[in-house]
Structure 1
Amino acid sequence: MNKSFLALLIILGFVITQNSEKVIARQGQVSFFSYTSVENIKAENNQVSSIIDLQEGTIAVDMLMNAFIFEKALMREHFNESYIESDIYPKATFEGKILNFDANIQGTQVKMIKGVFKMHGVSKEIEIKTKIENNNDSYLLSGVFETFVEDYNINIPPLLAGNIAKSIEVNFKFEYLPYDN
């Protein structure tokens, strides 16, 4: 009886360890670029966290909106107060799945990630093409996608419509290391 119980504990410990293999990026980087004929807008956020469950291929990203740094302080103020309303909607999140991902393959894989991006109180399903580099169990995930201001109910006053692009290019890069519970 004791041997059976001990064997069960060993098997459960192995299964739990295998099912909870995660990697984490504590200081991911997200930047966006908006081109207009009046003025280009660029901002960077180096305080983005993300976690990947390697067994399931699931990914989650969490970023504070007021952590974006702009070239001009006035741009940051307008972004946080007038457009993103970061006091009401402080974070943007993404939850998804890396399609056909094999965490054991060394080197580079190009994969699609499908999931839900939530910003400004609006959730939208998106697909993102990503490059995933596995180098001895540390992973580098990077990519670019385009998003549209109108998809997230961000109000642009008609007077300023020419100053804000309708589409925004978003770049991201995360370096993941093993996650210790």
Structure 2
Amino acid sequence: MNKILSLLLLITFLTNFNVKENQFIARQGQISFFSYTSVENIEAKNNQVLSILDVDKQEIAISMLMRAFVFKKDLMYEHFNESYIESDIHPKANFIGKIIDFNASEKTQTKIVRGKLTIHGITKEIDIKTTIENSNGTYALSGDFNLLVKDFDIKIPPILSSNIAKSISVNFSFQYQSYEE
């Protein structure tokens, strides 16, 4: 089932990106999030994130299934998918953006990636400070940013509001390979 969904996501992105020699793909990117609370910290990691990088257009597209996040406790997974993200209704999150002032020949650079992030059916424009490394024609992108829960219309019952942080810390890492490999 995951292979079929990954294939469908890839086909979706290919309609927006014509395959060229300066396109790269990360089939197993990593996104994690952390939320500090007084009761118990909440953290999860998703190692099944698909991303395409178009060096010529300076564009990046990312897609991930929300149910692919792994939590330390099964109950956290259940609450995340059923009560907060509502993964049956909003099964994936997407980001489409542009790297500002990107120089494909630089070995290491820190740039702003500006784009639209869609989570829980809500799309917000965000800027993400990103480290980009170029090593022998392959790219690695990494960074972190914070999201506000309220920006994505995620409802938290008042009784639990003190147990869930208002701001979530997100980390990401993508290792890209030539699209043709």
**Shorter-chain TM-score category?**
0.7 to 0.9
Q: Secondary structure at the match of 1:165?
A: coil
Asked whether the 8 Å contact 1:20–1:55 carries over to 2, the reply is: no
Please give the TM-score of this superposition, normalised by the length of structure 2: 0.88
Task: Determine the C-alpha separation between the residues in 1 that align with 2:40 and 2:153.
Answer: 22
In 1, Cα distance between equivalents of 2:137 and 2:105: 8
**1:102 counterpart residue number:** 103
Shift of 1:104: 1.9
In the alignment, is the contact (CA less than 8 A) between 2:110 and 2:130 conserved in 1? yes
Q: Deviations over 1:82-134 (max 9, x none)?
A: 000001000000000000111122x2110000000000000000000000000
CA displacement at 1:36 relative to structure 2: 0.9
Report deviation, 1:20: 5.2
Q: Structure 2 CA distance, aligned partners of 1:71 and 1:21?
A: 38
The match for 1:81 is 82
User: Match for residue 12 of structure 2?
Assistant: none
Partner of 1:152: 152
User: Which aligned runs of 4 or more in structure 1 are off by greater than 2 angstroms?
Assistant: none
TM-score normalised by length of structure 1: 0.88
Q: Distance in 1 between matches of 2:46 and 2:135?
A: 25
Aligned mates of 1:104, 1:57 — CA distance in 2: 12
Partner of residue 178, structure 2: 178
How many pairs does the alignment contain? 164
The RMSD of aligned alpha carbons is 1.4
Give how far 1:163 is off: 1.1
5+ long unaligned stretches in structure 2: 1-17
| Corresponding letter in the other structure for 1:152 | F
**What does 1:1-181 align with in structure 2 at a 5 Å threshold?**
21-105=22-106, 107-180=107-180
Question: Matched residue of 2:82: which SS?
Answer: helix
Which blocks of at least 5 consecutive residues in structure 1 are unaligned?
1-15
CA contact (8 A) 2:66 2:93 kept: yes
Identity, % of aligned positions: 59
Deviations 1:134-167 (A, max 9, x none): 0001111000000000000000000010111000
1:180 is displaced (CA, Å) by: 1.6
- Structure showing greater Rg: 1
Q: Which amino acid aligns with 1:72?
A: K
Q: CA deviation at 1:66?
A: 0.4
Task: Give the letter aligned to residue 62 of structure 1.
Answer: S
